[in-house]
Structure formats: structure tokens, C-alpha cells
Structure 1
Amino acid sequence: MSSSSPRVPLPSGFPEGASLPAVVIELGERFAAAGRELSLVGGPVRDLFIGRDSGDLDFTTDADPDAIEAIGAGWADAVWDVGRRFGTIGFQKDGWQLEVTTYRAEQYDPTSRKPQVAFGDSLDDDLVRRDFTVNAMALRLPAMELVDPHGGVRDLAAGLLHTPGTPEDSFSDDPLRMMRAARFAAQLGLQVADEVEAAMTDMAERIDIISAERVREELVKLICGADPRRGLDLLVRTGLAERILPELPALQLETDERHRHKDVYAHSLTVMEQAIAQEERYSPHSPDVVLRLAALLHDIGKPATRRFEKGGAVSFRHHEVVGAKLVRKRLRALKFDNETIKAVTRLVELHMRFYGYGDAGWTDSAVRRYVHDAGPVLDRLHALTRSDVTTRNRRKANRLAHAYDDLERRIAEISEAEELAAVRPDLDGEQIMGLLGIRPGPLVGRAYRHLLEWRLDEGPHDQDVAEAELRRWWAEQPESRKD
């Protein structure tokens, strides 16, 4: 998308200051000259009315894919046709991505994950097949005439999410639309209409036919929305979460012994909201899906580890270890990439580490291990740990905040002196093999790990001191006494 390309203001009837990239009008003029219809459709039209900058420019037309491609030839900077069998041809022009799709009359096999595509011949037929009324609006080009047969502008003004036809028909066409409803609730702050929520509840099991990849993409968009709590609550209420992220609704049954005023589900949503507020300070980018997922799922090990103690107390010992395993399994099932899985799992595993040191203070060794174990997610761990304080006891909250302030100061001081982010043993593998006279293999790894633990405990050493420690360790190993 190019922010510097020329824009064309919209006529009266649209919000003041609303405009479109000039390439949109140019493309409309080309289609009109060829005797074809073209309309901007869906999200880009919706976003004109809410002052939101849309990154996608989607169009619909009565032209078939061959005709679409011919009209754009010689005008577009680039053309791609990977969506041809679905009726879509893509253009790039002046830095903008434009996708043009033949009018659709989609039909879905109720037992299939993939749509059976049928091309339509009218804009009205195309719009009635769309997911929600707020996305079933079009702007005829180049005249810039609004087409809104299902009251999308009205629903936007009322903050409601309706479907053009019955929600049952819409969700039968594509069950992923149920998750999309939750996503729009999170992104746009829309209230799902009662009949839409009822259909989501009745048809929740239909989400099972949708591929894990499509579910994951909608979940990520929801979590990265402005108000993910609203969307997640909707998934839980309708039973959709039970089918795609069952660990989340399971938290409603638990009581957190450190936050007696909230169940773990409410606590987890609050931690996520507080983590979002920490993104500007600690995250490499915002929205940060890794941090948000970790905050949402950090306590999912509690149901499996709940124990009732004498005196009525409830404990969740090692819930972070169990939770990390559950997170890894769930994110793999949702086909997340390995880097995201590793980062979220590590954060869940370490989110209680700060509390393990109590009020006794942090030794240099403990600080080094904290930094080393967190590795590249250290800043996110800061954000998660701070966000995990939801107590109403202000004295306790302030004490924990000051304690973490102190830990961060210690990390900064020791990092400056010892380059903690890149901590390594004082001897490398080549030096270990040379000093001990051994060949590459597991024994070198054991020696290396010993020197690393020693380095974390005591800090950096001169080479001669490190060599003396290696010899001392070696003398205790059974391999050193072999003939």
C-alpha cells in the first residue's frame, strides 16, 4: 500500500474527508471503457464509514477472469492470477494491491472444507452471499455510487453485526464466518445481533470442518484486535472456543488462590489486557501476537494441577510446566509456526519464575539464569510478569511492582558488566577438546554445559581459571580414568 499516491475525495453522503486512492477510480474507468461493471466491495467500503484505513482493495465485476486480466494489461505494474479458479485476478499499481473477483454465487457442500465456486451475473446476488451486512456494501465505479441493499451503513451506525440473509444460511455457506463474527466484535467493537449469536451457538460444531490454518488466521486477527476480550468472550459463550481452544473455557471452572475475587478465566483475560497495555514499553511490535497468546494461555495448566489442601486452600503446583506442554500441543494443532510456538511456550513455562525468589532478593547467579533462560523473550517476559498482577490489594501490587523494578535494574547492571544477552562459557568446544584431548561427541557437550552452569553461577572468569575448573570437573568424570 502506498500512502503517498494521489487520493480522490468522495461525494456528499460519505463521512467528511473520506477519500479513495486515485488508482481505484482509474481502474473503474478502464472497466467502464470496456463495457464492464466494477465496484469496490466489502471491508474497504465499510472502513470508509468508520474512518479506518483499509489495507486491502477488493473489487467485484461482471467480467470473467480472462476479461479482468485483459482490462488490467498494460496499466498495472504487475499481474498475478493465483486465484483464477476462484475468479480472482490481482493487480499491483503505484504500490497498491488490487484484487478483482467475478461476481460470485458460492455454494458449499456441508461436508466439505472447500467452497464450490459458481460465478454470478449481478452485484445484488454477489452482495447477498457476503458474510455480514457491514461487508455487503459496494461502491460502483467510477461513478462512486453507494450500493447498500442490506442496511450496512445503518448497522454500522447502530454498532450491530447482522447477516444479509439468515445467519444459518450464512454460516452454512462458510462456518468460518462464525469466528469472523467474533473477530469483528474484537476489531470493530460491534455487538453481535441476538439471532447471529444464537445461530453461532446452535451451529458451533460446524467449525470442525474448517481447516486448522483458516481457524488459526481468524484467531490471530481476533487476538490482535483492539478489544480481543469481547471476541474471546463471544467464542466462549457460543461454544466455539470449546472446539478450537478448549483450554480457555476450561478456566471458568477454576478458582485462583492468589486472586480469590476472580476465576482463572477472568484473570487470564485481564492479564491479556494488561499485557496489551505493556506492548509499547516491552514488545518489538504491536499488536504482539506472541505476548497476547502467552498472556491469555499462561494459566491453562491450572485445571490439571488443581489440588485441595487442608484448611480449604487450593494449590496449582507446577501449573506452568503443565501449561507449557498444553500450549505447545494446542498451538501445533492450530498449525502455528515453530518460532511462535517456541516463544509462547517459553513464556508460559517461565511466567512464575519471578515469584520463586520471594523476598530474599536476587543473587547475581539468579539474575544471570533468569536472563539466560528467557533468552530472546526476556522483554516479553517482563511484560507478562508485570501483567500477571491483578490483585486488588494495592499495597501488594505496589510491592511486586517495586520488586520487579529492582530485578530489571539488576539485569541492566549485570548485563552492562557481563554482556548477559550473549552469555557463553569461558571456553568453547575447540578449547575443551584440546585441553582434555577428546574427540567431538556427547562428552564435549557435557563439559560445555558444566562450564555454562559454572559461568551462570559465578560470572565470567579468566581463561586460566576456567581451564583449572574444567580440569577439576574432568578429574571427577569416569571417562578420565579409563585406560
Structure 2
Amino acid sequence: MGSQTTVNERNSEASAARRLTEAKRNAVAELLRVSPIADELATRFADAGHRLYLVGGSVRDALLGRLSTDLDFTTDARPEQIQRIVSGWADAVWDTGIEFGTVGAAKHGTTCEITTFRADTYDRVGRNPEVAFGDDIEGDLVRRDFTVNAMAVEVSTKTFVDPHDGLEALARRALDTPATPEESFADDPLRMLRAARFVSQLGFEPAPRVVKAMTDMAGELRRITPERVQTELSKLIVGPHPRKGIELMVDTGLAEYVLPEVPGMRLAIDEHHQHKDVYQHSLTVLEQAIDLETNHEPRLEPDLVLRLAALLHDIGKPATRRFEPGGGVSFHHHEVVGAKMVRKRLRALRYPKDVVNDVSQLVFLHLRFHGYGKGEWTDSAVRRYVTDAGELLPKLHKLVRADCTTRNKRKAAALQRSYDDLEARIARIAEEEDLARVRPDLDGNEIMRILGLKPGPLVGQAWKHLKELRLDRGPLDHDEAVAELRRWAAEQGIDVPDTTDRPADPSGE
């Protein structure tokens, strides 16, 4: 046993060494790629008697081989001096962050944010620091959130500055803090949520002391505004490994202050009795939705709406759980309750209106397919499914397929075949009818002319009636639509003009 442990340790050390070597190669390649901009900038700062460092996330991303055209620098120059140095060199300069010591500049498509060394203090009531400028790079790095973000490169000399062993942590995919986690998170509690985001985004593993501090201090997240929380949550959700980030949030208690409905799903056993709980089922659905998303459109951006809907599609189950005679469990109308819960939670997190509406609508619709059976739906039901989903139909297809997590392979295959059949029927009907634009067979102007109405609520009611007929029966010919409109008007007690809906005789007879 001991020899096997030694072998494993050696393999782990060798793997970390290989990653370290690869990281250094990546850094050299990436820094060479952006060196013309960085070197020009460094020369201007050196000529003015100042030092310039590439810092933080930019160094981390260079080491990972994923450096973007958004570069972060730090310097001993004060903000006003930075402005003078970049003036005349940059294509554009902005000072929206100057109160925090940051000046922005753009050059040849590269965005540079240049910040004076910081030595901030925090009141530990809010999260905004008392801004204070520092005099050296070491003091600036120690106040940063994680050691992998506390590295710098002096641009002129290409000197690597790593006082907190961030490079080694990066090679081990380890997430730790330069100061103690308690100090770091007390200064800015959002860093705890950022840790979960880095787990999702970069596949890092938080150090045990970081996890303990997150658990002990989770309640400090109440100091953070919903907008800032939402930004970090969204970055976590669209990362490559969102399940790991969510699990860290739940295990440490952070989720209770961000998405309390998610840990709440651990209380409910799903109706198929195939999963430990609805929480684990929802994480599996999230992963399967991501697989469908990336398999179908690998070059598109991650789909925030689909992923949120996959994670939250069953949050109505705990509130609707009922124990049935014989030992069964039901969750009647959990999609209705869940849609309302989603709307309330996403609004509280200040998500845009379109995201709130789309996610809640997907949650509301996700269960409807289960009434399809082996194709018992009428064409009318298929039309309604498409119409209710609207532009969300491609996302709904993925969500419904992802929601099939049964371990019974025969049942899973049958469900997928049924959905294949539904999609084929949608395609067939779409060829015959314009399903993407289901409209009544008469427009508002024709309705007013035939019924002798002026614009008002009755016209809208007549329009809706004809649309329902269109969904139920498909396209109607013109005369049939007019007859149905007149029949509806008579039922409503509307006095219809005694005229026929025929074009005038050109002869005038």
C-alpha cells in the first residue's frame, strides 16, 4: 500500500511539473503575441521614470495559453501621470475608473487597463475599499483575491514576480489566497463567489482552508449587491464546469444567499425514484443540456438561458411534493409553481427582463412533452406546443431531451424516440403551414370591416378567437374564416351589418 502511495505521489508531482513547464511555454508564446503593444507602453512608462507590470488575470491567462486582447497592467505612476503617458499614444483614453486609480486605453484593437499600485483598506461593512495608492508591486499583489491572480511580469525586463507561489498553484490547479482566506473574504465577500466561479471557469480546486472560510463566512455575502452577485453567478453558469461551481456553492452554504431554491431541492425525491434527490437530477440535466448545446453548436457562446432553465426546471418540486397512497410521490403542477419561483428569484438577482421571461417560460413548458405519449397528440396540440414556445423552441427541444435522466436504457431510448417523432411532426406541419408565424386567417382590418367595428377590445377578442381556431384546425379558407367570425359575433350579441363579404361586382350590377 505504501509503495503504491509513493508511486501515485511521484506521478502527481511529475504531472504538476509537466503542467508547470507547459504553463511557462504558454506564457512566453502569449506574451510574445501581445509584446508590440506591451513593449511600446512599457517604453513610454520607462521614459517617464516609471515601472509597468502585466498583472493578475492577464498573467494567469497567459500562463494558461488563453490571453485575450483585454490586458491589465499596474504601475507606480499615479493616475494623472498615467493619463499623460498614454495621451498621444493610445487610439482612445477613458477615465471612468480613475477614482480607483485606473485609466483605460485602447491601441490597435487591444484594450489596456492601467492601475496605480494599490494598498487599500476595507471597512468590512460594505465591499468598497478606502482607496490608497501603494509604492511597490509586492504590496499590490498581496491584496489580490487569489494567488493565481497575484503574479506579475515587469514588461521591460520580462521579470516574473511571484511572491505567493501562484505559478505552482496554477500548475496544481489549486485555488488559495495570498493573505489568509478570512482576511481576504472579510475585505471583499464577493471573492467567495468568485472562488466558485473559478472552479467552474478554470477547473481549479479550492484549498481546504479556503473552503472552510467560505463555509464559516457565507453569510457575509449579504453585504454584496444583487447586481454583483448576478454577474459572478452568470460567469459561473456559462463556465465549462458549472456543476462543480454549484456544488461548491451548495456545500459551503453560499447558495443559501444566492439561489436558495437549489439546495432546497435536496429535500425532494423525484417521482421516478431513480435519483438520490431532485438536486442531483437537476445537476445531471444541466450537464446533459450543455452536452446538447456544445454538440449542436460548438462554436456558439454558452447558452445562459438554457443552462439556468436546466438547473432550475424542477425547483417547484419541494413545494408541490405529495406522498400518495401506496408509497408513491407526486409533484403535480410543479412546472407552474417552478416558473413563478424562477421569475421571483431571477428578478431578485436583477437579471434582464428577457432572461427572466425566457427561463421562466422554459420551466413552465418543460413538462408538457410528457403528455405526448407515443404520438397521441393531435396536430392542434403540436401547433400549440410550437406557438407557446415561440423562439424558445430550439432551447425547449434541448431542455426536454436533457431532462431524460432515467437509468432504464429501454425507457430512455423510448423517450428519445418519442421526441424524435414530435420533432418530425413539427417539421412536417411547418412545411405545410407557417408555424413560426401562426396568425388568424383574417387580420384586424378585415375583422373591423366585416363586423362593422371600430378599433377596441372586441376586435382583439375576435382576433384571439380566430387564432384559437387556426391552432385547432389549421389554415381556414377565406369564406370559412368569415363564417366562423360571424358565428362568433352572433354568440357575443354583436350586431353584424347585413352585408355579404364579397368583392363588389365590377359591372356595378
What TM-score bracket applies, with the shorter chain setting the length?
A: over 0.9
Query: CA–CA distance in 2 between the matches of 1:119 and 1:365?
Result: 68
Q: Which residue of 2 aligns with 1:379?
A: 394
Query: CA–CA distance in 1 between the matches of 2:129 and 2:473?
Result: 62
Q: Which residue of 1 aligns with 2:318?
A: 303
| Residue 15 (1) aligns with residue 25 (2) | yes
Q: How does 1:97-108 map to 2 (within 5 A)?
A: 97-108=111-122
Q: Which amino acid aligns with 2:469?
A: W
Deviation at 1:52, TM superposition (A): 2.2
Q: Which residue of 2 aligns with 1:443?
A: 458
Q: Which residue of 2 aligns with 1:129?
A: 143
Q: Which residue of 2 aligns with 1:8?
A: none
Query: CA–CA distance in 2 between the matches of 1:203 and 1:373?
Result: 44
Q: How does 1:88-103 map to 2 (within 5 A)?
A: 88-103=102-117
Residue by residue, what CA displacement relative to the aligned partner does 1:419-468 show, whole Å, maximum 9, x if unpaired?
Answer: 10111111111111111111222211111111111000111122221111
Unaligned residue ranges in structure 1 (runs of 5+): 1-10
Query: CA–CA distance in 2 between the matches of 1:356 and 1:226?
Result: 33
Q: How does 1:70-469 map to 2 (within 5 A)?
A: 70-280=84-294, 285-469=300-484
Residue by residue, what CA displacement relative to the aligned partner does 1:175-232 show, whole Å, maximum 9, x if unpaired?
Answer: 0000000011111111100000000011101100101010000000001111001110
Cα pair 1:279 1:286 within 8 Å, conserved: no
Query: CA–CA distance in 1 between the matches of 2:394 and 2:182?
Result: 45
Cα pair 1:131 1:170 within 8 Å, conserved: yes
Q: Which amino acid aligns with 2:244?
A: R
Query: CA–CA distance in 1 between the matches of 2:281 and 2:301?
Result: 22
Residue by residue, what CA displacement relative to the aligned partner does 1:159-181 show, whole Å, maximum 9, x if unpaired?
Answer: 21110010011001110000000
Query: CA–CA distance in 1 between the matches of 2:303 and 2:42?
Result: 37
Q: Which amino acid aligns with 1:14?
A: K
Cα pair 1:259 1:391 within 8 Å, conserved: no
Query: CA–CA distance in 2 between the matches of 1:180 and 1:450?
Result: 51
SS of equivalent to 1:91: strand
SS of equivalent to 2:326: helix
Cα pair 2:93 2:103 within 8 Å, conserved: yes
Q: In the superposition, relative to structure 1, how do residues 86 and 31 fare at CA in structure 2: closer, same or farther (>3 Å)?
A: same
Deviation at 1:324, TM superposition (A): 0.3
- How many equivalent pairs are there? 472
Query: CA–CA distance in 1 between the matches of 2:220 and 2:331?
Result: 34
Cα pair 1:282 1:382 within 8 Å, conserved: no
Q: How does 1:25-40 map to 2 (within 5 A)?
A: 25-40=39-54
Q: In the superposition, relative to structure 1, how do residues 166 and 406 fare at CA in structure 2: closer, same or farther (>3 Å)?
A: same
Deviation at 1:86, TM superposition (A): 0.8
Query: CA–CA distance in 2 between the matches of 1:220 and 1:228?
Result: 10
Cα pair 1:301 1:319 within 8 Å, conserved: yes
Name the stretch that deviates more: 183-192 or 433-442.
Answer: 433-442
Query: CA–CA distance in 1 between the matches of 2:206 and 2:214?
Result: 10
Query: CA–CA distance in 1 between the matches of 2:273 and 2:87?
Result: 63
SS of equivalent to 2:25: coil
Deviation at 1:54, TM superposition (A): 3.2
Query: CA–CA distance in 2 between the matches of 1:369 and 1:418?
Result: 13
Deviation at 1:253, TM superposition (A): 1.1
Query: CA–CA distance in 2 between the matches of 1:287 and 1:37?
Result: 38
Q: Which residue of 1 aligns with 2:74?
A: 60
TM-score normalized with structure 1 length: 0.95
Q: Which amino acid aligns with 1:168?
A: E
Cα pair 2:23 2:171 within 8 Å, conserved: no
Q: Which residue of 1 aligns with 2:491?
A: 476
Q: In the superposition, relative to structure 1, how do residues 144 and 417 fare at CA in structure 2: closer, same or farther (>3 Å)?
A: same
Deviation at 1:111, TM superposition (A): 1.6
Q: Which residue of 2 aligns with 1:7?
A: none
Q: In the superposition, relative to structure 1, how do residues 209 and 290 fare at CA in structure 2: closer, same or farther (>3 Å)?
A: same
Residue by residue, what CA displacement relative to the aligned partner does 1:41-97 show, whole Å, maximum 9, x if unpaired?
Answer: 011101122222335310111111111011001110011111111111000100011
Deviation at 1:118, TM superposition (A): 1.4
Q: Which amino acid aligns with 1:137?
A: M
Query: CA–CA distance in 2 between the matches of 1:113 and 1:137?
Result: 23
Cα pair 1:280 1:286 within 8 Å, conserved: no
SS of equivalent to 1:203: helix
Query: CA–CA distance in 2 between the matches of 1:13 and 1:111?
Result: 38
Deviation at 1:142, TM superposition (A): 1.7
Q: Which runs of 4+ in 1 moved over 3 A?
A: 280-285, 478-482
- Sequence identity of aligned pairs in percent? 60
Q: Which amino acid aligns with 1:204?
A: A
| Residue 24 (1) aligns with residue 38 (2) | yes
Deviation at 1:361, TM superposition (A): 2.5
Q: In the superposition, relative to structure 1, how do residues 417 and 12 fare at CA in structure 2: closer, same or farther (>3 Å)?
A: closer
Q: In the superposition, relative to structure 1, how do residues 113 and 163 fare at CA in structure 2: closer, same or farther (>3 Å)?
A: closer
Query: CA–CA distance in 2 between the matches of 1:480 and 1:313?
Result: 55
